[in-house]
Amino acid sequence: MTILGFPITRCALAWLRCRSGNFGLLAALVMIPLLIAVGVAIDFAAVHHRKAAMQDAAHSAALAAAAGGAGGEKTVAYGLLDAHLDSSTVTAVGEAPSWEHQVTVDRDAVAVAVEEDYPTAIMHMFGFKTIPVSVVAKAVRAPGSSACVLILDPSKADALRIINANSVTNECGFQVNSAHMQRAFYMENQGKFCASSIAVNGRSKVVGKVISPLPVDGSPVVPDPLAGMAEPVARTAACTSNGLKTINSQGKTSIDPGIYCGGLTLNASDDVTLKPGIYTFRGGPLTLNTSAKVIGKDVLFYFEDAQSPLMLNGAAILQVSAPTIGPHAGILMFQGRKAKEDNVQFRINTSAGSFYNGAIYLPYAVIDWNVSGSLNTESSYTALITKVLNLYVSGTAHFKKPTQAGGAFVPTGLSGGGGVRLVL
């Protein structure tokens, strides 16, 4: 075969037998893509390692920020990112990595995004100076808390105030959401005090005897775990009693559940039995002026509005237990959301032998609770969620974590938990 008079086969054979510089040229041409491939592999391996380090840093920053106090998430996240990324390995060309980051906070979620144009070690010789790298992490504060007593006011001084002259025991802890920077939690302790934990978002002040454990200031806020629970009675439900109802009793008596519009006042000198059911108070308080024993099983007290507090006067012995079945199982007292914009004053005076089985959920209440004698010694579980609590103890006050016997009195949402978790 010839082209333009030259025999192709003969030329090809001669080229193959050639030992001159043609083979070296061919080898050089083959080595160029091979070197590029090796360079790409080396640089992408370095990028993979760098991205893993960035992801670890982003995860750590998101978790630490979510676990930190409300309002300080960005400071915590930025500080941790600086420590992790600036101290990590530099690039292969000896340059400190250049990276950008962004921290966003949405209620109980913290998102961390980190981006970097990672300098290449070999590919820059072929015009590829950097490779973009980006990672994202997100952590959320898990709902719920193991605390038996949760104080919701976000800013008040003395949101939790305890004046203890005798004995206070809390098996599953106090949580104070107030961010007050001098005395979100205030205590005068002259007696015996025992708690599993004391978590305070702001700062605490304790005078008198030293308590153990000490409060942990700067703790994260715990959201109201029952904020989404439906109210136990419709606001349009008809009244079963119109106007203030007053019961004066010299002997043993019993009371029926119902909707007490205008309130209920009980004056009794002998035992009172509350029949099982929901006791709703609308437009008037529940007032107990008695030194008698008030007993109720499977009962729920519903304080529908700001005009319907509990006024427990005198020295009544209250022995009451929440329902153990139904949508409001474990709820002993529930405050309606019509009182949301108010600070509703509740007064509770308890005498020896009183106990409250279940959760007392009064998120808009300011409670003055005076304990003389023993409180909750015979209860299986007692929890309290309120806005402000002033607890004055001259007897013994006991808040109990759930035992096997008390598990039925623990409502959904109060089974403990808390902490933070990664979601991205």
Q: What is the pLDDT of residues 50-71, one digit of tens each?
A: 888 888 888 878 877 777 655 6
Nearest-angstrom CA–CA distance, 332 and 351:
19
Query: Could you give phi then psi for residue 10, rounded to 5 degrees?
Result: -65, -40
Q: Report the pLDDT value the prediction gives residue 241, as an integer from 0 to 100.
A: 94
Q: Report the pLDDT value the prediction gives residue 405, as an integer from 0 to 100.
A: 66
Nearest-angstrom CA–CA distance, 81 and 60:
8
Nearest to 362 by CA among 264, 416, 281: 281
Q: What residues in the chain have per-residue pLDDT under 50?
A: 3-4, 15, 87-95, 143-144
Nearest-angstrom CA–CA distance, 384 and 394:
19
Measured in Å, how far apart are the chain's first and last C-alpha atoms?
68
Q: Report the pLDDT value the prediction gives residue 240, as an integer from 0 to 100.
A: 96
**Global pTM value:** 0.67
Q: Report the pLDDT value the prediction gives residue 25, as an integer from 0 to 100.
A: 60
Strands 355-371 and 317-321: parallel
Q: Report the pLDDT value the prediction gives residue 92, as an integer from 0 to 100.
A: 41
Give strand pairing partners of 362: 386
State the DSSP string of 359-420. EEEEEEEEEEEEE-SEESTT-S-EEEEEEEEEEEESSEEEE----TTTGGG--TT-S----E
Domain boundaries, the chain: 22-141, 149-410
Q: Report the pLDDT value the prediction gives residue 131, as an integer from 0 to 100.
A: 86
